[in-house]
Every structure is written in C-alpha cells, then in structure tokens.
C-alpha cells in the first residue's frame, strides 16, 4: 500500500518492564462503571439528544445499574447546563448515583461547572488538559513545565470552588491524549495534581488514563497502565480509571488488559458510541465478564429494550453482528451450526447441567431477553434439517422423525432458494401444514371400523372417497389397525406402497391434548412422508398415512 512510510509508531513504552498483568487469567470482579453516553456519546451524534431524550436515557442507565454517569460539559452550552440543572432541581438523581461533569483547566469554565452542580448530593468534577507530544508541540506550543502548570492551576481552582460548594464532590483528572504522552511525563503531571488534591480514604481522587486515540496494540497500553498504577502517589486513595476509544478497533481489549494491569474503573458507552470510531462498548465488556461467570453489576437482561431506546434517542443503529446485542448474534443459518445447537439444547433438557455449554452460543440468549425460536435458528437456503426440525418442534410442538426432518429440510431449502429470502417460522409451518399435515385430497377417509379376528389380525372397514370412484367401503386385514387400513386403501387405489416408518407423540397446545403421527411409505422407489393430528390416535395415524399417499398421488 502506498504512503506507508508516512506513518510511525507514536506511543511510548514505560521506562521499566511492566508485565505483571500477563500472569492473570481473567477479570475476577466488576470494575466501577461510568457511563459517558450523555456526554462523550451525545457530543458525537449528528443530531444531539433533546432534553427529554437525555432524561429518558439517564433514567434507563440508572435502571441498568450505573452508579456514575457523566452527564455533560455544562460550560459548553446552555443545553448541557440546563440538563444538569434539571436533574438536580427535579431531584431525579438517586442517592446512590453520582453525576460527573467535564471541565477544561480554565477558570471561567471551572466556575460555570461548579454553578451547574450546585445542590447535587454527589458529583465528580472531571478536569483535563492535553499532554501528548503532538498536542504540546502543535496545538499549545508549550513546554512540559507549562503544560504541568495548566493542570496544577486548574487543580487549585477546583479546590477553591469545592470549599464553597455543598454536597459530596470528588475530583478526577485526565492527562488527555495519554497514549501519545511519555509515561514518565504522564506520571509527573498526575502526581503534581495529586499533590494539590491530597487524596484521602474519605476523599479519593480519580486518575483517568484515556486512550484518546488508539496508537498501540492493547498489551502496550496495559504496560502503560501498570506503570502508572505502580508509581502514582497516594495509590491506596487513587481510583485508576480507563477511557478507551476505538481507533484501532481494540477498545474492549484495551479495557480488559488495562483492568488486568490494575485499573479500577471504566468509562465508556452503551454499544460504543463516541467520537470517531467511538468509545469502549460497555455492553460487550460487561457481558464478556458475565460469560466467564463474573457478575458485571450491570443488568442487561432486557437487551431489546435498551437497543430500542438507544436507537430511538441517538438515531444510531446497533449493528446486526454487534456482540450480545445485535439482531443476528445468536442466529444460526448454517445447517451444521443449527444441528449442533439443536443437539446441545436437547442435551441440556436431558442432563439439566449446572453450566451453559451449548455449541456456538457463548451465553444463553434468554439471559439477555432473546428467544430461541426466531432469534437462534434462522432459516434460509443454507439451513439444515436439524435447525428446521428444531424450530418446528420449539415453535409448534412437532418432533419429526430423523428421516422426515431431512425430507422436510430439503423442501424448505428449495422454497428459500427459489424465493431468495429467509423464511419466517409461520411460513415454515404453513409449508409443513400444506404439504404434510392432514392432507385429505385427492383421497379422503370419513370412517374406519375395526374387528379383532381370532387369529390376532385386525380387519378394517374404511369409508373412502376416491377420485373417479366416488365414496365406498373398502375392507382388508392386517397385523394392526394402520396396516389393515393401508391394505384396504390398496384395494381402492392403484398404488403399491409399503409402510416404512411410523412414529407418534402427544402434543399439548392451548390446553387441548392431541396426538401427532408420522408415517413414511415407500412407493416407486422413494420414501414419502405424511403427518396427522387428531385427538384420537387412530384417526391421527390414518391421517398421516393419507397425507403420504396423497403426496404421491399429487405428484
């Protein structure tokens, strides 16, 4: 690719080796979560949310379980300021929820920020200034000492305004563009701010290490985070926070490795909305923990409701393949995948295991408010008999014999291939019903009577309507009722067939128990299937036989 020489690695390794995080296997507890949907996420929208939309989203974030929510940059616009004041004045912030507001290290902005949070019971004032080489040289054109002074001056101003404020206010500092900053300088400026704020056990300080722009592989970021965690002053009273963006598509990995490296807190958004490629997707991050048996302390059990709200108020879309939340993330179209899922679900029914191990499904879709039928097994021309049969069983209660599933599967695939579209469950059931179930044309049976003979055989008298012959009674004997009916029908129609398979099961839908029968007959060198359904098992089996016979006669 052309112009590759234009680019170079713009990150910095820590001055000492920081690899303790590599010895950890997984994240064993939930971090502190801070949603920035209403600030970072909102500022990245083409059409920012209205006040009512932000209030609705805020309430839903609280419902999910967020205890810290960054609500905006109140000095940036009157809309942001009004939102903050509305939450406080209308007493909409639960006592266990802390709002967070962002401010640059400039006095008039800090002053306006403290005015905005006046009356809040719990608030985080988030101070930041940019520290990277590129920002220092190109944007601010200041020395390291001057950049440190910007941060220190802002920290002192925060102290002064907090002394006059009411409520529980804690501070957060971000060396913005941390990933493009020399780790030694990031440490120096953070420690300078900490010296001013003097964190204590009852007044902790948050040091946020933002991936303002992703520049490295995730393990580099983890090493940077570990270096900071190991060398920050007052560490026992400092909450190390991460705010990863997704420029290289690695925000989730940055966050996970950063937590292994010692971070305590994550700032991100639902579904990863944010500037450029977005923030870390908290849904994915939290659900990854959930899939390892770790409670993320956030409740995504009604994922469809969150998706609906998010798409409506942000005018953004959750990608169909977005982990855990996308419309198709649990969907299996492939025949082999469908078969494995169907067998895995059957195994669960048989064994009732303690843990979820179904092939191809990392979590139970029902744990995020999704259903097996329609969400998991999806039918198109690539689907297989296992998935099609599973859907018919789960949705409508028909447990087709293995060979019949194969026959029906080919029929469904042919329809989907011809129409070039996915088939919905109701369409699949309609095909089954029209072609296999209680098919009473061209031959129909209105009555059947049976006599037990002394030699153990059964004689059947069948009243059948035959095209060209009208309605008549036909009799024959067999080694069972269905065999006797089959022999009687052979006397009525010019078709030589043999019953190859018969299965039955009860079906209980809408409080009326019925029997379903499946019959496979061989004729003219091929096996054809039919199904019958009735409250009487004998009638059900005859209907299944007739369905198979009529299938052949129609052909």
Classify the C-alpha dihedral 220-223-229-231 as positive or negative: negative
* pTM of the predicted model as reported, rounded to 2 decimal places: 0.83
- C-alpha pair distances (Å), 27 with each of 20, 98, 185, 229, 253: 14, 25, 29, 17, 12
In terms of phi and psi (left: phi > 0; alpha: psi -120 to 50; beta: otherwise), the region of 99 is beta
Transcribe 222-268 into DSSP letters. Answer: HHHHHHHHHH-TTGGGEEEEEEEB-TTS-HHHHHHHHHHTT--EEEE
Kindly indicate whether the domain formed by 444-554 is annotated with CATH number 3.40.50.620: no
* Spatial contact of 547 and 493, defined as CB atoms under 8 Å apart: no
Distance CA 80, CA 263 (A): 29
Q: What's the Cα-to-Cα distance from 410 to each of 156, 311, 403, 512, 528, rounded to whole Å?
A: 74, 38, 11, 31, 13
CB 436 within 8 A of CB 401: no
State whether residue 423 is helix, strand or coil: strand
Edge-to-edge strand ranges of the sheet holding 512-523: 498-509, 512-523, 526-534
Helix 107-116 × helix 144-164 angle, to 10°: 30
Which superfamily does CATH assign the domain made up of 30-314 to? Aldolase class I (3.20.20.70)
> Could you give the 3-state DSSP secondary structure of residue 432?
helix
pLDDT value of residue 406: 87
What is the Cα 64 distance to its own chain's centre?
A: 15
Q: What are 467's two structure tokens?
A: 């095209």
Cis peptide before 442 (omega within 30 of 0): yes
Pairing state between β 458-466 and 32-35 = unpaired
Q: If you ran DSSP here, which 8-state letter would residue 354 be given?
A: S
Q: What DSSP designation does 104 have?
A: E
Q: What are the residue ranges spanned by the domains of the chain?
A: 30-314, 335-435, 444-554
Residues 6+ apart with CB under 8 A from 508: 397, 514
How much is the pLDDT for 548? 95
Positive/negative CA dihedral, 156, 161, 167, 171: negative
Neighbouring C-beta atoms of residue 30, cutoff 10 Å? 18
Tell me whether residue 219 is exposed, middle or buried, using C-beta atoms within 10 angstroms of its C-beta: 0 to 12, 13 to 18, 19 or more.
middle
Q: Which of 38, 22, 46, 37 is nearest to 74 (CA)?
A: 38
Backbone angles phi, psi at 275, to 5 degrees: -55, 145
**Per-residue DSSP letter, 365:** G
pLDDT attached to residue 509: 56
CA atoms within 13 A on the CB side of 72: 27
Q: What pLDDT is attached to residue 339? A: 81
pLDDT tens for 435-446 read: 999 999 999 999
CA distance 376 to 235: 47
| Closest listed residue to residue 467, CA positions, set 441, 447, 438 | 441
C-beta of residue 255 within 8 angstroms of C-beta of residue 222? no
- Tally the C-alpha atoms within 13 A of residue 149's C-alpha that lie toward its C-beta: 7
Pairing of strands 498-509, 238-244: unpaired
Cα distances (angstroms) measured from residue 307 to each of 39, 40, 190, 217, 284: 19, 18, 37, 30, 13
Rounded to whole angstroms, the Cα distance separating 304 from 365 reads 11
Cα separation, 490 vs 179, whole angstroms: 83
The tens place of each residue's pLDDT in the chain, 555 residues long, gives 999 999 998 999 999 988 999 999 999 999 999 999 999 999 999 999 999 999 999 999 999 999 999 999 999 989 899 999 999 999 999 999 999 999 999 999 999 999 999 999 999 999 999 999 999 999 999 999 999 999 999 999 999 999 999 899 999 999 999 999 999 999 999 999 999 999 999 999 999 999 999 999 999 999 999 999 999 999 999 999 999 999 999 999 999 999 999 999 999 999 999 999 999 999 999 999 999 999 999 999 999 999 999 999 999 999 999 999 999 899 877 778 878 888 898 899 999 999 999 999 999 999 999 987 667 767 765 665 667 787 788 888 999 998 998 888 888 878 877 888 878 888 889 999 999 999 999 999 999 999 999 898 999 999 999 998 999 999 999 999 999 999 999 998 988 999 999 999 998 655 467 999 999 999 888 899 999 999 999 999 999 999 999 998 887
The CA distance from 212 to 36, in Å, is 14
In SS3 terms, 454-511 reads as CCCCEEEEEEEEECCCEEEEEEEEECCHHHHHHHHHHHHCCCCCEEEEEEEEEEEECC
Going by the DSSP 8-state scheme, the letter that residue 548 receives in this structure is H
User: pLDDT tens, 345-356?
Assistant: 889 999 999 999
């Amino acid at each position: 690719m052309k112009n590759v020489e234009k680019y170079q690695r713009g990150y910095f390794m820590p001055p000492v080796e920081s690899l303790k995080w590599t010895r950890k296997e997984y994240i064993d507890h939930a971090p502190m979560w801070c949603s920035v949907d209403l600030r970072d996420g909102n500022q990245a929208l083409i059409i920012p949310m209205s006040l009512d939309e932000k209030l609705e989203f805020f309430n839903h974030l609280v419902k999910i379980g967020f205890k810290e929510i960054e609500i905006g940059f109140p000095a940036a616009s009157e809309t942001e300021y009004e939102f903050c004041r509305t939450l406080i004045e209308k007493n909409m912030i639960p006592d266990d929820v802390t709002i967070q507001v962002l401010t640059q290290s400039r006095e008039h902005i800090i002053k306006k920020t403290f005015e905005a949070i006046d009356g809040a019971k719990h608030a985080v004032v988030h101070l930041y200034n940019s520290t990277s080489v590129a920002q220092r040289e190109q944007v601010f054109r200041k020395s390291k000492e001057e950049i440190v002074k910007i941060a220190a001056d802002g920290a002192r101003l925060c102290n002064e305004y907090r002394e006059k404020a009411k409520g529980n206010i804690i501070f957060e500092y971000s060396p913005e563009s941390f990933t493009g900053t020399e780790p030694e300088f990031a440490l120096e400026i953070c420690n300078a701010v900490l010296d001013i704020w003097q964190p204590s056990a009852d007044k902790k300080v948050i040091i946020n290490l933002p991936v303002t722009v992703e520049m490295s592989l995730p393990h580099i970021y983890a090493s940077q985070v570990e270096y900071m965690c190991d060398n920050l002053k007052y560490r026992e009273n400092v909450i190390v926070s991460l705010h990863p963006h997704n420029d290289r598509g690695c925000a989730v990995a940055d966050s996970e490795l950063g937590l292994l490296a010692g971070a305590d807190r994550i700032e991100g958004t639902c579904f990863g909305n944010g500037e450029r490629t977005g923030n870390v997707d908290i849904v994915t991050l939290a659900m990854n923990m959930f899939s390892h048996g770790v409670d993320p302390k956030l409740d995504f059990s009604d994922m469809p409701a969150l998706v609906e709200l998010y798409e409506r108020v942000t005018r953004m879309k959750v990608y169909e393949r977005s982990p855990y939340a996308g419309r198709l993330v649990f969907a299996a179209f492939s025949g082999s995948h469908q078969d494995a899922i169907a067998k895995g679900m059957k195994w669960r029914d048989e064994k009732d295991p303690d843990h979820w191990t179904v092939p191809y499904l990392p979590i139970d879709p029902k744990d995020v408010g999704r259903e097996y039928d329609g969400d998991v097994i999806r039918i198109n021309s690539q689907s297989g008999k296992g998935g099609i049969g599973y859907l018919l069983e789960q949705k409508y209660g028909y447990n087709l014999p293995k060979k019949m599933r194969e026959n029906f599967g080919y029929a469904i695939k042919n329809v989907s291939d011809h129409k070039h579209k996915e088939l919905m469950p109701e369409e699949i059931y309609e095909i089954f019903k029209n072609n296999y179930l209680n098919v009473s044309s061209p031959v129909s049976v209105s009555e059947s009577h049976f006599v037990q003979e002394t030699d153990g055989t059964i004689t059947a008298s069948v009243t059948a309507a035959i095209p060209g012959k009208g309605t008549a009674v036909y009799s024959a004997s067999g080694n069972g009722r269905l065999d006797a009916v089959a022999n009687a029908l052979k006397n009525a129609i010019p078709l030589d067939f043999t019953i190859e398979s018969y299965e039955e099961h009860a079906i209980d839908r809408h409080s009326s128990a019925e029997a379903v029968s499946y019959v496979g007959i061989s004729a003219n060198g091929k096996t054809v299937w039919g199904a019958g359904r009735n409250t009487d098992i004998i009638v059900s089996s005859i209907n299944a036989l007739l369905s198979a016979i009529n299938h052949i006669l129609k052909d």
